[in-house]
């Protein structure tokens, strides 16, 4: 079944099931049989078979690294064994390598509610944050400062501080509850649409309205949002953003990041890292930089074609997708996790209301690291964030309601029996 046909079937199913599906998204299973019944009515169920996962693994770390989709592996193999091995340098033309990053940006645009030429796949989140901050600061009003959420992912804080030090401006770490005050002062503010630890979702439109009052510019980090919630950059009034593609988009380890820049702002944006690939006419080999008119002006070096090929295949799973369907299921899976966690007596640090949450749920668990390893030994892969947070990512494309039910039953047993308290579960891995 092709992607377009699949999503057409999904839409038909939603129409036919109507209230039944909507009620399932609002209801919370109270038995395993009921969870199984929800799975039987899930319009996303057929996508699961295209993900390559071990049969004995329930994968709950899609918010850290998504699993491979069969199309991604096929694209990657073809690129390596055919385009590279046989086509060699000619594949920049014959296989469409040269424009691949921009074309994938166009595909990504539909997932975040942007126009095709407003999105470019390039570099990493860290590099893109730096490029956007340098491009945005000259356009801001008010205080000449770089603000970043004090609870933001460390990379974002590191980049904000390093850039501020480099150009001699203030780096302001914004404490909880002080966001709008910081925006009122102007400058650049780096903020995640979904918090990496708690999963709390931000009202992007409210932030953008506040920024407009002072002339501040927001740089959105969409890493924990893209591919799992229904983003709409245009409706939110968002102007600048970056995000990764290896989480819910399943682009593969080290998959490249992307940049979003609102079309009306593009002519005013000048990257501090201009590259030949972002030049308006690269094969004229001019000595001075002339940027492309689209977001492709942010391209720096030669794109990683093998990674782009894998991402190209991964994005096939989203062709024609209604992100509202994916968001609704992710929310329902999270609701089930939270309900069972509260029954067990575990502390939930994520929002209870699905609309205020991204695709993951975080629990505060004493001895969280060995508990995580004990879960792993039982086939439930999640991740741990110091000092005591266990995160479960609920990717709606391959996870089932029964998976969440079984996860929480296993977690309850591990906590109750203290089976986590074994030497092998206390040994720390380098990556947690």
Domain boundaries of the chain, sorted by first residue: 3-70+322-417, 113-246+254-304
Residue 208 has pLDDT above 60, yes or no: yes
Q: How far is CA 79 from CA 76, 195, 390, in A?
A: 5, 35, 37
Residue 88 has pLDDT above 50, yes or no: yes
Q: 3-70+322-417 belongs to which CATH class?
A: alpha beta
Query: Which pLDDT value is given to residue 432?
Result: 77
**C-beta separation of 245 from 254 below 8 A:** no
From 3.40.30.10, 3.30.300.30, 3.40.50.800, 3.40.640.10, which CATH number describes the 113-246+254-304 domain?
3.40.640.10
Query: Which pLDDT value is given to residue 261?
Result: 98
C-alpha torsion 413→414→419→421, nearest 10: -150
Mean pLDDT of the chain: 93
397 DSSP assignment: T
| Planar angle of CA 37, 380, 155, nearest 5 degrees | 115
Look up 425 and say whether it is catalytic.
no
Look up 153 and say whether it is catalytic.
yes
Q: How far apart are CA 85 and CA 137, in angstroms?
A: 44
Q: State the burial class of residue 12 (Cβ atoms within 10 Å of its Cβ: 0-12, 13-18, 19+).
A: exposed
Residue 6 has pLDDT above 80, yes or no: no
Task: Choose the catalytic residue: 75, 172, 201, 247.
Answer: 247
The closest of 150, 194, 158, 115 to 361, measured between CA atoms, is: 194
Query: Which pLDDT value is given to residue 26?
Result: 55
Look up 352 and say whether it is catalytic.
no
The closest of 129, 210, 213, 122 to 163, measured between CA atoms, is: 129
Residue 45 has pLDDT above 50, yes or no: yes
Q: How confident is the model at residue 21 (pLDDT cuts 50, 70, 90)?
A: very low
Tokens 């770490």 belong to which residue?
173
Look up 98 and say whether it is catalytic.
no
Query: Which pLDDT value is given to residue 301?
Result: 86
| H/E run at residue 392 | strand 389-393
Residue 117 has pLDDT above 70, yes or no: yes
pLDDT digits (tens, 9 = 90+) for 309-363: 999 999 999 988 899 999 999 999 999 999 999 999 999 999 999 999 999 999 9
Task: Choose the catalytic residue: 38, 59, 153, 425.
Answer: 153
Query: Which pLDDT value is given to residue 72?
Result: 98
Residue 3 has pLDDT above 70, yes or no: no
Look up 329 and say whether it is catalytic.
no
pLDDT digits (tens, 9 = 90+) for 210-259: 999 999 999 999 999 999 999 999 999 999 999 999 999 999 999 999 99
Task: Choose the catalytic residue: 42, 123, 221, 383.
Answer: 221
pTM of the model: 0.92
**C-beta separation of 247 from 223 below 8 A:** yes
Task: Choose the catalytic residue: 246, 298, 369, 380.
Answer: 246
Task: Choose the catalytic residue: 172, 329, 391, 400.
Answer: 391
Q: How confident is the model at residue 15 (pLDDT cuts 50, 70, 90)?
A: very low
Q: How confident is the model at residue 5 (pLDDT cuts 50, 70, 90)?
A: very low
Contacts of the segment 375-382: beta carbons below 8 A, 24+ positions apart: 375/407, 375/410, 375/411, 375/414, 377/424, 377/425, 378/410, 378/414, 379/56, 379/57, 379/58, 380/58, 380/60, 380/406, 380/407, 380/410, 380/411, 381/57, 381/58, 381/59, 381/60, 381/61, 382/60, 382/61
Residue 27 has pLDDT above 50, yes or no: yes
């Amino acid at each position: 079944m092709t992607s377009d046909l699949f999503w057409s079937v999904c839409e038909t199913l939603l129409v036919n099931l109507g209230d039944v599906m909507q009620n399932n998204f609002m209801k919370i299973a109270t038995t395993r049989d009921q969870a199984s019944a929800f799975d039987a009515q899930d319009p996303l169920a057929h996508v699961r078979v295209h993900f390559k996962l071990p049969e004995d693994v329930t994968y709950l770390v899609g918010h850290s690294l998504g699993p491979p989709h069969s199309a991604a592996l096929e694209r990657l193999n073809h690129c390596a064994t055919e385009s590279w091995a046989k086509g060699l340098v000619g594949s920049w033309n014959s296989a469409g390598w040269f424009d691949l990053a921009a074309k994938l940006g166009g595909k990504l645009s539909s997932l975040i509610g942007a126009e095709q030429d407003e999105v470019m796949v390039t570099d990493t989140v860290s590099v893109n944050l730096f490029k956007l901050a340098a491009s945005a600061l000259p356009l801001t009003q008010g205080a000449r400062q770089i603000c970043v959420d004090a609870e933001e992912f460390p990379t974002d804080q590191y980049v904000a501080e390093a850039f501020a030090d480099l150009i001699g401006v203030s780096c302001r770490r914004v404490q909880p509850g002080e966001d709008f005050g910081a925006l009122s002062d102007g400058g650049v503010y780096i903020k995640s649409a979904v918090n990496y630890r708690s999963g709390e979702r931000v009202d992007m439109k409210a932030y953008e309205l506040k920024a407009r009052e002072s002339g501040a510019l927001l740089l959105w980090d969409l890493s924990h949002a893209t591919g799992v919630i229904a983003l709409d950059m245009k409706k939110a009034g968002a102007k600048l953003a970056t995000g990764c593609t290896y989480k819910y988009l399943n682009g593969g380890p080290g998959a490249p990041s992307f940049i979003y820049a609102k079309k009306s702002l593009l002519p005013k944006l000048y990257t501090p890292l201009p590259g030949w690939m972002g030049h308006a006419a690269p094969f004229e080999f001019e000595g001075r930089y002339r940027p492309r008119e689209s977001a492709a002006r942010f391209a720096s070096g030669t794109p990683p074609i093998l990674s782009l090929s894998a991402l190209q295949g991964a994005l096939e799973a989203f062709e024609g997708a209604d992100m509202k369907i994916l968001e609704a299921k992710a929310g329902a899976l999270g609701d089930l996790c939270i309900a069972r966690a509260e029954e067990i007596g575990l502390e939930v640090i994520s929002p209870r209301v699905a609309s205020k949450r991204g695709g993951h749920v975080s629990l505060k668990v004493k001895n969280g690291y060995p508990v995580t390893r004990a879960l792993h030994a039982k086939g439930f892969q999640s991740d741990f964030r110091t000092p005591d947070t266990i995160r479960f990512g609920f990717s709606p494309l391959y996870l089932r309601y029964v998976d969440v039910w079984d996860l929480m039953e296993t977690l309850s047993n591990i906590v109750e029996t203290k089976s986590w308290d074994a030497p092998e579960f206390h040994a720390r891995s380098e990556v947690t």
